[in-house]
Each structure stands twice: as structure tokens, then as C-alpha cells.
Structure 1
Amino acid sequence: MSLPLEGIRVLDLTRLLPGPYCSLLLADFGADVIKVEAPEVGDYARWGEPKVGNQSALFLSLNRNKRSMTLNLKEQEDQAIFLELVKTADVLLESFRPGVMDRLGLGYEELKMHQPKLIYCAITGYGQTGPLAQEPGHDLNFLSYSGILHLQGSPNGKPMIPSVQIGDLGGGALMAAIGILVSIMDVQKTGKGKFIDISMLDGVISWMQTILPDLLAKTENVPNRGELMLNGGKAAYEVYRTKDERYLSVGALEFKFWKNFCEVIGKESFIRQLDAPVELQRQMKEEIEEKIGEKTLKEWLFLFEGIDACVSPVLTPQEMIDNEQVVHRKMIEKVDDPYVGVIQHINNPIKVLGEKTNIRRHPPQLGEHNKEILKELGYVKGGYSR
């Protein structure tokens, strides 16, 4: 069965997390993703710990279904090879600071002369323009500028760092993937390439749909940490500690769920207080915390079984892997890697009816496909044959 992106070639110059995750989504659906890496060093993610074989577990997870080619883009000979590669490409993905590719003589304006249909996607922290454009940054910095970090955590505590990289993945990788897919459709109509400017800060801000609209409508109503409806402000949307030091999450935002929850824990007097003011919400949370602390997680799950209350156990990562829903959805898949044997991969979450994304290629060794790709371009010993 053919995959939707078969026939699309992506040159991926990115490293670490945002770009490789974006190209992973494209590769899983059939795109020919070629990682263009610096000789000897390559993608820094290769060399982190822990390793599986000679490459990091993170690298193996992010780079299945891709090929690797090493080129030194500062050298004239390798630049010439790169330009030949660009002529065969549909998409180029990079994550350097603005201007780096231009200084190499390989910016969008130059490359589109060699491939007019090229979709050039640049993922940066703050975008190609603006006073922060040249500033370095990581996920934490993007969250800081967005205002999200200010709202993370309990009311009297310091901001809490999320466990996953919201800016890198949500603000950068996913936005880039969407931009590339939209541009592929547009190029098919117009025959003209595109430059996609992805700012991870912009992407994070666009995720604040349950926060910013209220603030923009009432500028004096600035939310405080721990007081947002979906960030600890409501007793119906909170995490409670159990007797055995485990946690129960409650997402009973609708009245019917809240009513069921209150009845199970014996707090019927709270039923009409779903939308009570913040101070009363805090009082209810204290009483609920005390009540939930009377039983173990297993005991509460037994009491809530079959009850529509949006109550769930807070699982550890290992418990998640073994969870029957996750197993049923095949989100963790075992594959045979020729270099390290059987390993487990996080599966693609996008399930298109009738289409099966599969792991067609193992994560590549650095420069593993140099000869293969050069042959495709027409290079033979002694030079270029076309």
C-alpha cells in the first residue's frame, strides 16, 4: 500500500528535537527524508545518554524511516553536491539562526533559483524578524516569553517547568509540519515554492486559546498562577493525593460529571458549588484532598469503576507503557534494528483509516547513505556523470 507522502523528498538539516520530530511525522507517511549532517559530528542527539548500541535512545526514537548523508556545507565541493540534491527536493527544513544559510550562500533566494518549487521551512525560536530574532533560546525561554510559564504551578509557588517540550514540539515541530503539508498542496496548484517562517514563540502563544481570549476581552482581568479554570483554579479540575501516596486526577468540568464525583466521595454539598469563587474552590479542594487521602488509589478506582466522572489514575511512564488502552492502540511498537536488535519505538499517533504507517527504515548511522544518495544524483568515481 502506498503512503500519502511517497514521492516527496525532504532535506532535513535540523538537529536535536523540533526539526527531527517534524521530519519524523513526514517520514512515517512516506516522505523520503534525507538527514544532511556535518561529517564526524552530525546530529548532536546521536551522542546523548543513555545509548542503545552506539547511538542515543532519543536519536533512535526520532529518526526512523530516514536516510543520512554527510556534507560540509562550508566547503565548495560539498556545496555543489548539496545544490544537486536541492534540485531533486520538494522540501528543505532547517533550524539555524536567521541568516546562517544566507552567509553560506545557500539561503532561500539562492536555492529557489535551482529549484523554483522548493518549500523552504525555517524553525527558529523567535522567527526571522523582530528584536529577538537573533537571540538563542530553548523551550523554557519560549515558554517564559509566552506567559505560559508564569501560569504553571501552585498559587504560592514558583513557576513549574513542564515535563515535555511544549515550544519545541507544539510550537515548532507541529506548526512546521502543518506549514509544509499546506505548502505541498499549494505548490501543486501554483507551481511556486514557499518560504515558511516558524517561530516557536509564535506557536506557543497560539496554543493559549483557553487563556488569552478572556484576557484580551477584559484587559484588567489578569489571571494568576493556579487560578485558571484548567490550571488548578477549580476543585473539579485537580490532582489529589491518595492514602498510598499515589494521585487521582479529576476532570469533572461538566455538572453531570461533577455531581457523580461528589456523590462517590460523599461530598454532595459541593454539587451546587461547581462554579464557586476562587476562595470557595480552595476550601473545597482542601476538603476533597483530605477525603481522597482516606483510601488508596486502587480503592478509589474500584469505587469509580463504571461511573462517568472523568476520574483517572496518575500513571507512571512504565505504567502507561503497560496500560491496556496504550497496548490496544499500539503506541509502543517493537521493531528489529540491524545494529542493536529488537528495540521499542513510540508509534505515530496519527491513525488514518486504511493507511498503516510502518517503520520501513532503521534510524541511520551517520553518513550511512552517502554512496546510495550520490549514486541517485549521478555521481560516480571521478565526478558527476549527468
Structure 2
Amino acid sequence: MKLDGIRVLDLSRLLPGPYATQLLADSGAEVVKVEDTGAGDYARAMEPLTSRDVGAIFEMVNRGKRSVAIDLKDEDGRTAFYRLVEDADVVLEGFRPGVVDRLGIDYETLTEYNEDLIYCSLTGYGQNGPWADRAGHDLNYVSLAGLMDLTRDSTAEKPQVPGYQIGDMAGGLFAAFAIVGAVLSRELGNTDGEYIDVAMTDVVASFSQSVAYQSLTGDPAEPRPGETPLTGGVPWYDSYETADGKWITLGALEPKFWRAFCEAIDRDDLVDAHGSENPDVLAALAEELRALFRERTRDEWETVLGDVDAAFAGVYAPAETVDHPQFRARDLVVRPDDAPPRLGFPACGSAVPETTDETVPVHGEHSREYLAGAGYDDDEIETLLESGVIRRDAP
């Protein structure tokens, strides 16, 4: 995963697009944030702020990037951007459909300056369809994709808002995957440049592979909240409250895991209940497990079942998760000496960069540097700065 030599121009803001390009930056790509000359990326000022007085979300997904601030509504600004595109490999944007056309920075226009350009549009609903122009956030994307419906125990209960932005992060992840695939395809000589349309809602919907067949065919076993094996319909795949008011999860779908669990708690009498479709048997077993898990605390159950092949885990709050020995062993939590703590690259491997640039770019910090690299002389850059077409804030 060494993308050294690949330059990405990132026009996106907030979370989905910056997460996509952070994954690329962590893999060695040179990522240049192209921000407007006003506020720039809104996430810069979003609470909570870090010790560097910068939005924590911004710091998490913009490490090691460069920032160039250009007014793309100005003709001279667009010209400057076109010059940057000539030496770029990838452009990623997250505007609503039609905005890039009005700005004159759409794929067709940019290929006039770089025919091998890979251009990725990352939006909520994609570039076509009746919802393409519709405003939305993560909550709306997971709603349309079917995930929200399955976050409750029954259809009588309120759908639960996911604790993380699933659509935003899934969309960013898939955009990064698609971009890397397009770069590889180009380098193999299979394609030249290409256009990629990623809809966050599409990606979340594609995550439903385990229930998609029933939904697509109208099977009577169509997944409903609390009724299917993976949505709380069976007691051996569910969550349970413990004596200290915390929770654990049991995922003993396979008979071998269920048997190991029963043996560990000295309840061989429960073994044969696994796989039953009798509602009375399932109800009785669920009540038995609820009473059982209330007998010990979460951590006590970890002591009892942690080394048992039973597909068991505690439910941890995010603050507990980042301090968990499993994540420490994987080096997922990074605590630099001269920067706020962060979550690292979510993969280990022989070629994953061991060190990354922890700096976070000031708004427009690298405007002069990149315009000079694009052929502008000092006088031209000063003229653009004075006119407000570009912006450069000192670090």
C-alpha cells in the first residue's frame, strides 16, 4: 500500500470525502485539499476543538494533507485550478449534482486539461435518480438503505440512530477503494482516465447482502426487526444486560459455539434448544439467558467466557474501546508526542507505512507552493493573493 507519487486534489468537506482521502494519504498519496477562500472546510471550526484549537473531526481526517485555497467562482481561480489538474492523478468532489458543471470543474471539462484524470463524485444519492438532488445526511442515507428499519427489536419500537455515521464512512471507504482500483487499472494499461459515481446510500444498501435475497424475491422470511436470526430473532444471537447495567453480546450461530457456551456455564440442558423454530422454546430460552446474564457483571462474564470458543464479547463505550488491549495490540490508537491522539490506519501489513505525517494544514497554507509548482511566478501569485482569488494563511 504505497501510493507514493499519486497526487489527489480533494474538493470535499466535512467527513465522507476527507475520510476517503485520509485513507489514501495514509497509504502514501499526496493529498491537496482545495478549499474556498472563505471558511474553507467547515469541519475546521466544529466542536470539540483539539489542543491545537482545530475541530477534532477535521484533525482526524486531514492529517498530512496540503491546503490550497482558491475561489473557483472566479475565472482566474478556475484557471489556477486547471493548472493544478494538469499534474494531478485524481480529483474527488462531494458537491450536489450539477454544482461542478456550474463551476466549470466537471469531469468533461477537466479531461481537457488531463485526459488521464480519475474523477470521483461522492454524494448521498448519486448523480441520477429522483433523489439525486435531494438534501441529506447520514441518518437519511441509512434510512433509505434499509439499515434503520433493522435497528430495533420489533416494528412496534422506534428505529435507533446508529452511534457512528455509517453511510458517511462506508461511502468514504468505498470511494477510496474505487479510486485505488481506477489508479491500478490505469497503471496496468487497461483504461485511461475514468469517472466514478459513488452514492453513500448505494454502499450502505450493498452491505445488506445477508438479507438481500429475501428482500429481492419477496420471500416470506423477509427480514423484519427482531424476527430473523441476525436481527434478534433467536436468543443465541443477541445482546443481554449484565448485573452492573452493562451489556454483552452472544453470537453463537454455529452449534459448536453454542455447545461450548453451554458447557462453560454448566448448562448442558440448553444444548438441544439451539436451532429450534418453536416460538415457545425460543421465548423460554431467551428468558433463561436474560436471567443468567444478570447474575454477573460484564467484566466477570469476560473472565468466564473470554477464552471460550463461544462468539462472546462485551459491549463497550467508545472511551473503553480506544483503551482496549485488542486495539492497543493492533496499534489502532496512535498517541503522537507532538499531536493529539487519533485512530490509525485500519489495516496491518508488511507495506503499510509505519510513520505518517501528523501535521494538519492551515487554511490555504500551501497555496503559494502549489501555484508556483503549476508555473505561476511570484508577481502573479501576489496579484492573486491581493485580489482574494487565492488565500494563504501562515501556519
TM-score range, shorter chain: over 0.9
Partner of 1:136: 135
1:281 aligns with 2:279: no
Partner of 1:208: 208
Partner of 2:385: none
Partner of 1:379: 376
The CA distance in 2 between the partners of 1:261 and 1:361, in whole Å, is: 44
Point out the more displaced range, 31-40 or 217-226: 217-226
Q: What does 1:86-101 correspond to in 2, within 5 Å?
A: 86-101=85-100
Q: State whether residues 2 and 351 of structure 2, in contact with CA within 8 Å, keep that contact through their aligned partners in structure 1.
A: no
1:218 deviates by: 4.5
Partner of 1:162: 162
1:106 deviates by: 1.5
TM-score, structure 1 normalization: 0.93
Question: CA-to-partner distance for each residue in 1:101-139, whole Å, 9 max, x for gaps?
Answer: 111112111100110000010011111111111111111
Partner of 1:149: 148
Q: Which runs of 5+ in 2 are unaligned?
A: 382-395
The CA distance in 2 between the partners of 1:278 and 1:184, in whole Å, is: 53
**How many residue pairs align between the two structures?**
377
Question: CA-to-partner distance for each residue in 1:37-65, whole Å, 9 max, x for gaps?
Answer: 01130111111111012211111011012
Q: What does 1:53-202 correspond to in 2, within 5 Å?
A: 53-155=52-154, 156-170=156-170, 172-188=171-187, 189-190=189-190, 192-202=192-202
Q: State whether residues 37 and 70 of structure 1, in contact with CA within 8 Å, keep that contact through their aligned partners in structure 2.
A: yes
Q: State whether residues 65 and 360 of structure 2, in contact with CA within 8 Å, keep that contact through their aligned partners in structure 1.
A: yes
The CA distance in 2 between the partners of 1:268 and 1:17, in whole Å, is: 49
Partner of 2:239: 239
Partner of 2:257: 257
Q: Which runs of 5+ in 1 are unaligned?
A: none
Partner of 1:316: 317
1:348 aligns with 2:345: yes
AA matched with 2:62: N
1:359 deviates by: 1.7
Q: State whether residues 348 and 357 of structure 1, in contact with CA within 8 Å, keep that contact through their aligned partners in structure 2.
A: no
SS at match of 1:147: coil
The CA distance in 2 between the partners of 1:123 and 1:30, in whole Å, is: 21
What percent identity do the matched residue pairs reach?
39
1:190 deviates by: 4.3
Question: CA-to-partner distance for each residue in 1:287-329, whole Å, 9 max, x for gaps?
Answer: 1011111122233222224321111222222222222121111
SS at match of 1:343: coil
Point out the more displaced range, 231-240 or 296-305: 296-305
Point out the more displaced range, 48-57 or 300-309: 300-309
1:244 deviates by: 1.3
The CA distance in 2 between the partners of 1:346 and 1:310, in whole Å, is: 26
Q: State whether residues 123 and 197 of structure 1, in contact with CA within 8 Å, keep that contact through their aligned partners in structure 2.
A: yes
Q: State whether residues 16 and 44 of structure 1, in contact with CA within 8 Å, keep that contact through their aligned partners in structure 2.
A: yes
